[in-house]
Chain A
């Protein structure tokens, strides 16, 4: 029983990181119907920013978590720049072109990081030392709880923001009908840029929690993480903010349980087979709505 609870805790830890990452995917997809495959690499950029700014914070005697502000600024910068340089020119060329451009940008960021930072893995210094909490004989690391709390707060804020603010309303209007949005005075390009800024900012927050659990970062960090978070987003129903949260947590828990009770070496095959079955039964994902889209 303790083993099961302990495994669930580890699953929550892994899943909460997938969830934070998936939130960024789903956010961008929900607004502009585009899968930003470079999102995983934004997290890598955030990770390297933390690697360089945490020692600076230490020297200045400031609280270390402030480094995340620098990471947010850099990630938002990279995200908006990516959008302006690569995605904006191909907007309106169809979803396949956008998808390929995103894959291309992902490779550009990975190899750009290889040139700038080299390929040697780096350790990000610990940002907080949180106590480990004991629950029913199982120990749960403090950062797991923090990641979960941050994940749920981000989810709540995003949901409320999109539902109740004027900007949020505009964000919902754009994917429904771009032309009509323009007619009622919405600056579509501005809305898309803001969406990317928010998505990239989320990547910075995800990178903070990632490096707290997994200390070693390298330029290829975004590949697997991005792929898995994308799967989590689709599993939860892409475009749905609570769905990303649930999809991420579920994916993490399933992965750990498969590792503990089945095959630790080939867990990915087993995990993703299970998920493919889920998608066959529910193609829209767990919380995905089959809303009709006006085209």
Chain B
């Protein structure tokens, strides 16, 4: 019996190590889940005023690691639909149609779940799917969408390959193909760095893709030395990477990873004695700085929109959001991107004069849309070309730093 127990143990321990091994190499996923959050939205609008309906569907992470994006996403999505209908719906020719959400599906911050969320959306007769947030999730369904001729606008997935999938795939945000070089340029031009360290997660399409685009730009910059250190999305300890960055003499550290890991990284970097600028990508949006306000000074990240901006579009959006939901919970860049995606889609549908995805896609390519983050036009891939906003922290408060 004793021997048996020992044997069972060795086996069990090996199995557990195997599990760790696999989580180490595998995709970032969170096993937490709390049921499907697909629900049919009923609008209070009177059906009688419209000549028909235009259906769309949305996908966002309502649970899982990125749930704080999902809350704002769903709110921005619903707010835009409500406003479109209040303004008379979607106007095609001399008829007006009611904009309706068939389903708002939860991808649970997980690529496999995102694929089934997409299947749920496409099972309805919809003109377009708006989603999702993380690049790994969006990548899991764009190919299927392209093959079946479904129009997809991703509000927040920046991975460079997404829109190259085909002509039905668009985005509301900028692409990493532009974001990477912009981050690199900020480090070399704005902060005059000649020695740069990059710490990027290797198990995330977003982080790895962004790092690659950055390296491409740094390679072609003269007199700049850089090192890339990997990590994984479930890491909490970055002391090894940080001490290597300090040893290398880095003047700027670029940390293009997701917001949930940023506090640990910044605290450890400051504790290790790194006082230089720390730059991040758009996934820093939503970073919690509570309790560590002083350590976040001299940190910068690229944003899609500055929600403290003094422009009419932003002010209107912020006040409409607070009025609709009673607080600013979830009022982040993601929410504004979902909102703008729908407004832009409606503009394209009206310009196309059709709800057929194959006609809308051509209209989208030609459209020029005034988003909260600046004017959006499309290149031949369906990638949005729009200005970059840079945000910084001042004693814990977000502050607009400039546009690039």
Contact = CB atoms under 8 A, between A and B. Distances in A.
Contact of A123 (B5, B9, B244, B292): B292
A283 B240 contact: no
Nearest to B244: A260
Interface string B262-298: 1110010001110000000000001011111000000
Contact of A122 (B14, B32, B288): B288
A115 interface: yes
A290 B292 contact: no
A111 B1 CA distance: 37
Given A264-B231, A276-B14, A10 B263 contact: no
Contact of A141 (B7, B229, B271): B271
Given A114-B34, A122-B288, A293 B2 contact: yes
B20 A292 contact: no
A65 B33 CA distance: 34
Interface of B is mostly: helix
B14 A264 contact: no
Given A216-B263, A293-B1, A124 B240 contact: no
B65 A126 contact: no
Interface in B200-234: 201-202, 229-232, 234
Chain B interface extent, by class? 35 or more
Nearest to B265: A216
B183 to A, nearest CB: 19
Interface residues of A, number: 62
B64 interface: yes
Interface string A130-162: 001000000101000000000000000000000
Contact of A124 (B7, B32, B63, B291): B291
Contacts of B65: 119, 218, 220
Interface stretch (B22-30, B37-45, B349-357): B22-30
A10 B267 contact: no
A223 B235 CA distance: 12
A141 B236 CA distance: 16
Interface in A2-60: 3, 6-7, 10, 13-14, 35
B247 interface: yes
B236 A214 contact: yes
Q: Give the residue among B65, B260, B273, B291 with the most A Cβ atoms within 10 A.
A: B291
A219 B241 contact: no
B260 A216 contact: yes
B239 A10 contact: yes
B16 interface: yes
Given A123-B289, A279-B14, 5 more contacts: A123-B263, A224-B23, A224-B234, A238-B9, A268-B20
22 contacts: A7-B243, A107-B31, A110-B32, A111-B33, A114-B34, A119-B68, A125-B291, A214-B236, A214-B237, A215-B264, A216-B288, A227-B20, A228-B20, A234-B13, A238-B9, A259-B240, A260-B244, A265-B231, A266-B25, A268-B24, A268-B25, A273-B21
